[in-house]
């Protein structure tokens, strides 16, 4: 693991000086193909760690349904700029005790079975997936890494003046996926893009907030529940995000619905039949 990571780091630092480029939302030392490489490396890492990230081995139709009927549909939005550049795909993690999802740089999106059991509609899942796709599209993780480590530090590593720092960066990357803890600004941007992407689908566009509304109504926000601890540490301010999403819907002239709505564009029955009821009890 460490060796691969270090090789990967060295390979991209070697091109930093000639190819440092601006990401869509700020300075980013990584190129798009380095985002993809980094994501693949972390993904292989996770596969080797079945204790922490066990691959879901239940009914395979659940994953293919989510992929074809929800994930791929979002990716058809013309607003997805890196559809042919990134390796967009979903993976399910068999962990009913975690309500969370996350995206790796370069487009691999992970969904915990606990989240699938908790949600109530295809729209709610589409809202989460739109949000995670936005993290990849907007390159939040590698932008944050650029900011965190700093150009001087990263260049120092390649010149070999700080060899111990190489190992430090590589190990920090994988410890509890800490680098996926997003800033409030990144979260807000991902919510905004989720609405924009979903406008081009059959799903209710404001559904990114359904997960937060359901957590709120179940008393999970502000609780010390382990189920939401990781979510809350990587996704701050769920209550503010509900309000912000409602403001955005209002200013786009979209009717405000909540997660309890039974309107057809939430696809609740389909969610129950094709996803929720097929999960192991």
- Of 143 and 182, nearer to Zn ion (C-beta) is 182
With both helix axes pointing from N to C terminus, report the angle between 151-158 and 140-149 in degrees, rounded to the nearest 10.
80
Listed residue (170, 128, 153, 231) closest to 5, CA to CA: 170
Q: What is the DSSP string of 141-159?
A: HHHHHHHHH-HHHHHHHHT
Cβ nearer to Zn ion, comparing 28 with 230: 230
Span 152-191, contacts to Zn ion by CB under 5 A? 182, 187, 190
d(CA 56, CA 60): 9
x/- site string to Zn ion, residues 65 to 104, per CB under 5 A?
Answer: ----------------------------------------
How far is the C-alpha of 229 from the C-alpha of 225, rounded, in Å? 6
- Number of chain residues interacting with Zn ion (CB under 5 A): 3
Distance of alpha carbon 27 from alpha carbon 234, whole angstroms: 22
Min CB(181)–Zn ion separation in Å: 9
Distance CA 143, CA 136 (A): 11
Between 187 and 214, name the residue whose CB sits nearer to Zn ion: 187
Tell me if residue 58 falls in helix, strand or coil.
Answer: coil
Q: Residue 105 CB, nearest distance to Zn ion (Å)?
A: 13
Q: In angstroms, give the least distance from the CB of 224 to Zn ion.
A: 21
* CB-nearer residue toward Zn ion: 34 or 186: 186
Residue 19 CB, nearest approach to Zn ion (Å): 27
User: Please, how many CA atoms are within 13 Å of residue 141, restricted to the half-sphere of its CB?
Assistant: 29
Q: How far is the CB of 186 from Zn ion (least distance, A)?
A: 7
Write out the binding residues for Zn ion, residues 188-207 only, by CB under 5 A.
190
Q: Which is nearer to Zn ion, 34 or 191 (CB)?
A: 191
Contacting positions for Zn ion (CB under 5 A): 182, 187, 190
């Amino acid at each position: 693991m460490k060796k691969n990571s270090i090789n990967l780091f060295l390979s991209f630092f070697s091109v930093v000086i000639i190819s440092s480029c601006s990401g869509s939302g700020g300075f980013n030392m990584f190129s798009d193909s380095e985002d993809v490489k980094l994501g693949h490396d972390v993904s292989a890492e996770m596969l080797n760690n079945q204790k922490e990230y066990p691959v879901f081995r239940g009914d395979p139709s659940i994953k293919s349904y989510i992929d074809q009927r929800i994930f791929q549909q979002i990716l058809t939005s013309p607003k997805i700029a890196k559809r042919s550049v990134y390796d967009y795909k979903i993976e399910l993690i068999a962990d009913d005790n975690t309500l969370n999802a996350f995206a790796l740089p370069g487009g691999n999106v992970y969904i915990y079975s606990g989240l699938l059991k908790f949600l109530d509609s295809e729209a709610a899942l589409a809202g989460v997936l739109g949000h995670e796709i936005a993290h990849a599209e907007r390159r939040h993780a590698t932008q944050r890494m650029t900011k965190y480590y700093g150009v001087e530090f990263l260049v120092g590593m390649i010149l070999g003046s700080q060899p111990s720092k190489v190992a430090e960066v590589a190990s920090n990357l994988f410890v509890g996926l800490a680098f996926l803890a997003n800033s409030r600004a990144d979260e807000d941007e991902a919510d905004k893009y989720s609405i924009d992407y979903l406008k081009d689908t059959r799903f209710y566009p404001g559904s990114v907030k359904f997960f937060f509304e359901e957590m709120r109504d179940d008393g999970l926000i502000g609780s010390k529940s382990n189920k939401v601890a990781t979510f809350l540490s990587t996704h701050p301010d769920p209550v503010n995000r509900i309000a912000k999403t409602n403001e955005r819907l209002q200013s786009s002239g979209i009717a405000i619905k909540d997660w309890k709505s039974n309107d057809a564009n939430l696809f609740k029955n389909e969610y129950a039949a094709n996803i929720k009821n097929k999960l192991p009890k």
